[in-house]
Structure 1
Amino acid sequence: MSETSNDPAGTTHQFQNFAAQAPAEQSSKVNVGLVVGIAALVALLVVVAVAVWMLL
């Protein structure tokens, strides 16, 4: 008796569809921490530049 194996994880086609969709979802997300960090760095550079300018 030979039985066909049933893959509980799904078919290869279903996995390929999942893998193709994953990068599109990740690229649409904005990394809030990165944006806040860059804004803080820019603000710090402005404060340092103004302080140096005031000393001259």
Structure 2
Amino acid sequence: MPENYTDPSGNTAAFRAFSETPEAAAPTPTPSRIPLIVGAVVVVLVVAVVAWLALR
């Protein structure tokens, strides 16, 4: 650790400056849309099979 290191939790102003830096904010991951797409395809297939069986 360097000799001039200042602990950001040492006082309120330093902590606020540390916590408001863009590097400190972790980006929120976007959820995957693959389950939604797979679910929609399954629903369409089930409706198509039911309609095919009803009209047969």
Give unmatched runs, 5+ long, in structure 2.
1-5, 10-14
CA shift at 1:46, angstroms? 0.3
Matched, 1:11 2:13: no
Alignment partner, residue 47 of structure 1: 49
Which is bigger in relative contact order (C-alpha 8 A, separation at least 6)? 2
Deviations 1:18-52 (A, max 9, x none): 36x54xx62xx641011101100100000000100
Question: Residue 20 of structure 2 aligns to a residue in which SS?
Answer: helix
Identity percentage of aligned residues? 20
Moved over 6 A (4+): none
Distance 1:33 1:5 in 2: 44
Alignment partner, residue 37 of structure 1: 39
Give unmatched runs, 5+ long, in structure 1.
none
Change (3 A) 1:18 1:6: closer
Counterpart amino acid of residue 14 in structure 1: T
